[in-house]
């Protein structure tokens, strides 16, 4: 028996949160949950987490793992909030320690002052080749760096959850310009994925509806990416990809939630303790060179 995938789309950040369930056992895994933060007003909302919780409870599922594909830059992870609501173990790539050290340097964070503090919210740090059982399924952990240094993909059955290595074919690939991103490493990671059988299902972490020209989508296949991906499809070589990626990245704005989300996401979406006035206050470092984070 196989898996079912139910996806929640967060409109503000364009994030696809995937709930993967084992049909026979009722165990499930959540990949890349979102906690809503409006960068304009500073208002937060548990609504994206609550939607996942309601689904898990309505379907009588048992949440085993909460997995982030990487330290995100464009939304706040809902991992901690989801675990508080329905349990499960939180996993992320081991290189969250490296990302955490860079973020701590920039922000001088009292709440995440040590490697131990960064690691504390996570139940498991993951490495290439790890195999996590859930129900009658197994999650294979693939290190797929390039978008960021810590990026992982997760293979479950005939599906791979590719995070931000690939977008939908008409939207190409993700940027590589922070967290020691590297277009050459991204190219290699993508081609590792594209070497799988063409019918392999691929689930992406973000979609923006191709600039509004179609509804948001998040499922594709290895075959479709090989032929149709506008950045790496149809035999596009490494040099051409690296040149294209670098040129595009130079022209991209920073994500609206980059500075707010980084110190939260190195600790699985844990917000800092309230200040003396009872408010939660996020730091905003100024004039940070791009390579520093």
Residue among 38, 17, 14 nearest 28 (CA): 17
What minimum distance in Å lies between the beta carbon of 69 and Fe ion? Answer: 8
Three-class DSSP category at 285: coil
What minimum distance in Å lies between the beta carbon of 147 and Fe ion? Answer: 6
**Gyration radius (Cα) of the chain, Å:** 18
- Which residues in the 87-106 window bind Fe ion by CB under 5 A? none
> In this chain, which stretch among 117-125, 161-169, 228-236, 280-288 interacts with Fe ion, using CB under 5 A?
161-169
Angle between helix 96-107 and helix 258-265 axes, rounded to 10 deg: 120
What minimum distance in Å lies between the beta carbon of 199 and Fe ion? Answer: 26
Q: Which lies closer to Fe ion via its Cβ, residue 10 or residue 164?
A: 164
d(CA 65, CA 20): 10
Size of residue set near Fe ion by CB under 5 A? 1
> In this chain, which stretch among 5-13, 90-98, 120-128, 158-166 interacts with Fe ion, using CB under 5 A?
158-166
Contact mark string toward Fe ion, 116..155, x via CB under 5 A: ----------------------------------------
- Using CB under 5 A, pick the residue from 32, 36, 64, 164 that binds Fe ion: 164
Contact 148, 179 (CB under 8 A): yes
What minimum distance in Å lies between the beta carbon of 21 and Fe ion? Answer: 25
Three-class DSSP category at 289: coil
Residue recorded with tokens 């996806």: 7
**Counting runs of H as helices and runs of E as strands, what totals does the chain give?**
9, 15
Q: Would you count residue 207 as binding Fe ion (CB under 5 A)?
A: no
Residue among 3, 31, 217 nearest 141 (CA): 31
Q: Would you count residue 64 as binding Fe ion (CB under 5 A)?
A: no
Give the binding site for Fe ion (CB under 5 A).
Answer: 164
């Amino acid at each position: 028996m196989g898996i079912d995938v139910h996806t929640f789309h967060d409109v503000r950040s364009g994030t696809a949160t995937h709930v993967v369930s084992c049909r026979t056992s009722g165990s499930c895994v959540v990949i890349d949950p979102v906690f809503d933060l409006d960068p304009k007003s500073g208002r937060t909302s548990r609504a994206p987490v609550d939607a996942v919780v309601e689904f898990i409870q309505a379907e009588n599922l048992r949440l085993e793992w909460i997995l982030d594909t990487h330290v995100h830059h464009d939304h706040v992870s809902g991992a901690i909030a989801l675990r508080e609501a329905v349990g499960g173990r939180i996993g992320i790539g081991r290189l969250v320690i490296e990302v955490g050290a860079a973020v701590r340097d920039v922000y001088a964070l009292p709440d995440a002052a040590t490697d131990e503090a960064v690691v504390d919210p996570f139940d498991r740090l993951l490495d290439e080749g790890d195999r996590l059982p859930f129900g009658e399924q197994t999650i294979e952990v693939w290190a797929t760096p390039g978008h960021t240094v810590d990026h992982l993909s997760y293979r479950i059955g005939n599906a791979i959850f590719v995070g931000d290595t690939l977008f939908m074919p008409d939207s190409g690939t993700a940027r590589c310009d922070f967290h020691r991103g590297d277009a050459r490493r991204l190219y290699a990671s993508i081609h590792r994925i594209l070497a799988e059988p063409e019918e392999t299902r691929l689930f992406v972490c973000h979609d923006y509806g191709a600039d509004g020209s179609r509804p948001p989508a998040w499922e594709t296949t290895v075959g479709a990416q090989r032929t149709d991906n506008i950045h790496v499809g149809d035999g596009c070589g490494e040099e051409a990809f690296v040149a294209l990626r670098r040129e595009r990245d130079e022209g991209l704005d920073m994500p609206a939630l980059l500075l707010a989300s980084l110190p939260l996401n190195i600790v699985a979406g844990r917000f800092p303790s309230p200040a003396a006035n009872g408010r939660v206050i996020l730091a905003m470092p100024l004039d940070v060179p791009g390579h520093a984070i």
